[in-house]
Amino acid sequence: MGQESAQRSSGKTRPENSEGRVVLDVLRGKTVFPPPVWMMRQAGRYLPEYRETRKRAGGFLDLCYNPDFAVEVTLQPIRRFGFDASILFSDILVVPHALGRGLRFEEGRGPLMTPIRAEEIDRLDGEMFHVNLSPVYETVRRLRVQLPAGTTLIGFCGAPWTVATYMIAGHGTPDQAPARHFFYRHPEEMKRLLRQLADWSAAYLIRQMEAGADAVQIFDSWAGMLDEEGFAACCIEPVARIVSQVKAAHPDVPVIAFPKGAGSRYDGFRQATGADALGLDWTVPLSQAKRLQKEGAVQGNLDPQRLVAGGKALSDGVASILSGLGDGPLVFNLGHGITPETPVAHVEQMLAAIRGARQP
């Protein structure tokens, strides 16, 4: 599936955007202080109302694929905290699942897939792709109606490399050795897999935009596991392929790229991929983040463990980011997802510190 077919994936146009969504302003390069804020995994197990909804839904995929439940958990952190952006509740692995790959979630083990073999890559079945993902699109449509007018709605997908790591190993691994080995042993097959995932992911994001998403984020959670050659082939090229197709269809929709663990390779990543904004993990020094911010918006990058700790560690972390990045386009966020053991009171402390801050 190539760029042209991705653009023609639905034949629908985007709903007209409402004004006043401050996250969109920042993603397009405007400086706002205090900066807007949201959190990766803001709908999650740290919230008692999420745990209750998850219990009623049954399995995790039931939660993702039932618009009633998915809308409810997406709205919960907005009701409680009034974040400036809401991110669609789903999972990065719905894309290979929609392409016919087996997927289940086990408590304590996370996602489990049937490992893909090199000879199976050209047999991925996209015939029912959008039908399989229709509950996700319905969730986005409902959210656009139910969210406050000033709240930016962010859609997302997993980056092809990160999605491929689960498809190849069949489960999460600490260093993604199975996927790296696959790339070295089967480079052409890996490139074909990444191209297919990029094309289908672009089509998926375009449908989310047409359903009402104001911006989208591409999560490359395992980008930091790659060497220089692998990073270029497995991270940059597929993400650039997605961005190109998305921008051809909807040039006005900002794209956030989050290559977690990229380190020095964050430099030049925006130009190489065409992303509008960079999501920064907590290991990125503020001096580097400041350089990156001169090229456009950055997002991040509070260590999630500071949020768990609370108190002075949290206050100092927030103050440091606001002082270092507050005079440029910044969307305040964590450097990765919020962890389940985070106290709700610490989220409240973080928000009070951000919203009560004075211009640096």
The verdict on whether 14 is a catalytic residue reads: no
How many angstroms separate the CA atoms of 42 and 242, rounded? 25
Preceding peptide of 34 cis, ω within 30° = yes
Determine whether 355 is an active site residue: no
CA distance 46 to 54: 12
Please give the structure tokens belonging to residue 259: 């290559």
- Contacts of residue 105, defined as CB under 8 A and 6 or more positions apart, other chains included, come to 59, 60, 61, 111, 112
* β-pair type (215-220, 152-158): parallel
Rounded to whole angstroms, how far apart are CA atoms 283 and 265? 13
- Of the residues 25, 46, 54, 141, only one is catalytic, namely 54
β-bridge partners, 323: none
Whole-number Å distance between alpha carbons of 354 and 360: 12
The residue annotated as part of the active site, out of 41, 101, 141, 270, is 41
The residue from 50, 65, 84, 91 that is catalytic is 91
CA distance from start to end of the chain: 48
Rounded to whole angstroms, the Cα distance separating 136 from 208 reads 8
Helix H or strand E segment including 277: strand 277-279
The tally of CA atoms less than 13 A away on the side-chain side of residue 149 is: 4
Q: Which residue of the set 14, 28, 45, 80 is catalytic?
A: 45
Q: Which residue, among 207, 209, 172, 168, has the nearest Cα to 189 in the 3D structure?
A: 168
What is the number of other CB atoms lying within 10 angstroms of the CB of residue 15?
15
Q: How distant, in Å, are the alpha carbons of 10, 99, 192, 200, 240 from that of 223?
A: 31, 23, 18, 20, 14
Instruction: Verify whether residue 41 is a known catalytic residue.
Output: yes
List the catalytic residue out of 65, 166, 204, 266: 166
Residues serving a catalytic function are 41, 45, 54, 91, 166
